[in-house]
Amino acid sequence: MSNARTVDVGGETPYTIAIGPGLLSDGTALAGHVRGRHVLLVSDSIVAPLYAGMVREALHAARPDLAIGTFILPAGEESKTLAHFGHAIEALATLGATRDACVIALGGGVVGDLAGFAAACWMRGVDCVQVPTTLLSMVDSSVGGKTAVDIPQGKNLVGAFHPPRAVFADTEVLATLPPRELRAGLAEVIKYGAIRDARFFQWLEQEREALLAMDGEALALAIAASCEHKAETVARDPLEKGERALLNFGHTFGHAIETEQGYGGLGNNNLNHGEAVAVGMVLAARLSSGLGMAPATDTDRLETLLAGYGLPTRIPAGLAPQALLARMRLDKKNLAGRLRLVLWRGLGQADVVPDVDESRVLALLSG
C-alpha cells in the first residue's frame, strides 16, 4: 500500500479508506482485514470478469487457508432487490460462513449496498470490506456504512447501518470505467463542494478538463477530498440523526426521478444515480433560491458546473410532477408526513429544512 493515500474515518467504529493504484492485487492488505477463514466475494457481471480473479488470487496468495466463495449479481440497479439479497444470504450459508466471516464487496454502489446489507444481516452482522470500482462508490456509497436494497416503492427503503472494516479504492480500475459512469461519480464529488466547501467547488470549476480526461493526480485528489468530507460527517453522525442528512443534497428529488422512471440500467437510457442527483441538486438549489435562502447566482453557478461536466440538469420528459411529489413523500428524511428537504444557503452551505410547502415543490416540478 506504499502509493496509497489514506483517509481515516473516526467515531465508534473507526476504519481506513485507502486510495491509490494497485490495491486490488494487494492480497496482504485485503487479507489483513479477514478475521476468520470464510470470505464471500460479491461482485457483478461486468466487474467480476475483469477483477474478481485477481482479488481471489491475491487473497489466496496471502492466506492459502481461506475458503473463498463468489456471488455474482447481474450488473445494474435492477439487481438491488430483496430477491438477490436472499441469494447472497444463501451463498453465505452454502459457504458455511461463521461469525468471523468477511464479505468483500467488489463493484459499484449496487454491489456495495447489497453486499453490505447481506453482511449486516448474516448471523446478525459479519465484517464487510468495501472495494469500490466506480468513482461514485469510491466517493460516496462505500464509505459510511449505509447498506440497503430497493423495493418498487422506493430506493434504499430496506437496509441497515453497517460500517465497513476497511475501504480500498483502487484508482487503476477507473481506466475501464465508461465516461458516463465517470460523470455520474463527479456529480457526487460536486455535491461535497456545493454543501461543504466553496474552495473545493472552485477547484472543480478549474480542473474540469483534467478530471474529465481522467488525469490520475486530479482524480486521486478529488476522491481523497470527497472521502475526507464524507469521513468527517459520518464520524460525527453515523446514524444520520443530524448533519449526515446534508449529504443527501439533491437526493430526495433524485431518488424520486430514479424510482418514477424505473431504475437506470444497462439496457435503457434512464438517468443513473449520479445523473438523477445532478438534476436533484439543481432542483434543490432552485427551490432554495425561490424561498429566498440562497443567491440565484450561486444556483446558476451550480447548474453551469454540472452541465460543464456533461451532467443533466433538467427533469427528463414524461415524468408527472404529482407522481414525483408522491415519491418524495416516501423519503426517509420526512417526519410526521411532512416534506423535509436538504436545501442550501449558497455555495458551501446546506441546511435541512423541515415542513417544506408542497405547493412550492409541485410548482418547481411542474416548471
Residue 38 designated active-site: no
Q: Grid coordinates standing for 25?
A: 492485487
Residue 44 C-beta: closest distance to ligand GLY, Å = 20
* Catalytic pick among 80, 183, 244, 332: 244
| CB nearer to ligand GLY: pick between 38 and 244 | 244
| CB nearer to ligand GLY: pick between 26 and 140 | 140
* Catalytic pick among 78, 181, 228, 240: 240
Residue 206 C-beta: closest distance to ligand GLY, Å = 26
* Catalytic pick among 251, 286, 301, 327: 251
Residue 332 C-beta: closest distance to ligand GLY, Å = 10
Residue 80 designated active-site: no
| CB nearer to ligand GLY: pick between 76 and 144 | 144
* Catalytic pick among 230, 301, 327, 332: 230
User: Interface with ligand GLY by CB under 6 A: which residues?
Assistant: 140, 144, 146, 244, 247-248
Largest distance between two CA atoms of the chain = 62
Residue 230 designated active-site: yes
Residue 255 designated active-site: yes
Residue 32 C-beta: closest distance to ligand GLY, Å = 25
Q: How far apart are CA 218 and CA 241, in angstroms?
A: 33
Q: How far apart are CA 51 and CA 2, in angstroms?
A: 21
| CB nearer to ligand GLY: pick between 84 and 146 | 146
Nearest-CB residue for ligand GLY: 247
Q: Could you list the active site residues? A: 124, 146, 188, 230, 240, 244, 248, 251, 255, 273
